[in-house]
Amino acid sequence: MAEDTGPGADGPTQPICAGAVRASLTRTVRTPLDRRRVLTAAIGYIDEHGLDALTMRRLGAHLGVEGMALYRHVTGREDLLDGVVELVIDALYGDPDVYLTPEYGWQDYLQRLAHGVRRMAIAHPEVFPLVATRPPAAPWVRPPLRSLRWLDSFLDALTSHGFSDEAAVAAYRAYTSFLLGHLLLEVSQRGVPISPLDDADADASPPADGRSLAEFPHVRRLAHLLAEDESATEFEESLENLLERLARMLRESERPGSPV
């Protein structure tokens, strides 16, 4: 609440400035909202305060407006969240480090895209669970690449480099599963308290499932390994593994009759 009154409270609503001086040179009157501004503000608000804190009324206040005014630009809270997810995904499409015509091969394309999605997830860790779990518009548009645009681009990149239709679709499924699993775990790991038991003396504070750590000898013994954050290398290695698997799929779909 403390910082909340800051941005919007210094009052465009106040009649204090003596209506007589309503000269048009004071364009302080706040440019009208539009959907994009509402969605952008929502993303910022979620990044800063967390998803649970996002409320129509609070987002309104954050924008210097009554919460009810938002209903002019989104049909409701659900639509607001859908819009947030869509915006965050489409922003990726405009990223020049991510989207170029796949002239350097499909592996380059998949690498760039994977890293772009990862950057997005890390930049908006509170938004990513939304990207992961909002019900998709259709069962074949899979998070986190939840748009027909990305799906089409993906299929284009792969089929134009020799993948059969079936292989391209299978690749899309494997690729989305990989991204979703890794990135959801990575963002959920951040924002978790650094945990007790970075060192050995931590059998106090029963970890909320009622049993002491002493009952789990392997966990205790490997605490130092478990506490390390290997997200980045883990991501690279799994991605590498996936690309190799896809390369095998490609070879098999090119030479369907080959032995073994």
- Which positions touch DNA (CB under 7 A)? 13, 30, 32-33, 54-58, 60, 65-69, 71-73, 76-78
Sign for the CA dihedral angle at 184, 188, 191, 197 comes to: negative
Nearer to its own copies, 62 or 150 (CB): 150
Of 84, 116, 82, the residue nearest 99 (C-alpha): 116
Nearer to its own copies, 45 or 178 (CB): 178
CB of 135 to its own copies, least distance (A): 6
In contact, 50 and 111? CB cutoff 8 Å: no
DSSP designation for 161:
T
- For residue 58, the partner it binds in DNA, its own copies, none, with Cβ less than 5 to 8 A by kind, is DNA
Among 30, 37, 72, 245, binds its own copies (CB under 8 A): 245
Q: How far apart are the first and last CA of the chain?
A: 65
CB of 216 to its own copies, least distance (A): 4
CB of 86 to DNA, least distance (A): 17
CB of 7 to DNA, least distance (A): 14
Residue 75 binding its own copies, by CB under 8 A: no
- Binding residues among 173-192 for its own copies as defined by CB under 8 A: 173-174, 176-182, 184-185, 188-189, 191-192
- Binding residues among 125-154 for its own copies as defined by CB under 8 A: 129, 132-133, 135-143, 147-149, 151-152
- For residue 57, the partner it binds in its own copies, DNA, none, with Cβ less than 5 to 8 A by kind, is DNA
Nearer to its own copies, 116 or 196 (CB): 196
In contact, 81 and 131? CB cutoff 8 Å: no
Helix locations, the chain, DSSP H: 5-9, 35-49, 56-62, 77-93, 106-123, 128-133, 148-159, 165-189, 217-221, 223-226, 231-254
CB of 160 to its own copies, least distance (A): 9
Of 164, 86, 156, the residue nearest 120 (C-alpha): 86
For residue 127 the two structure tokens come to 């938004």
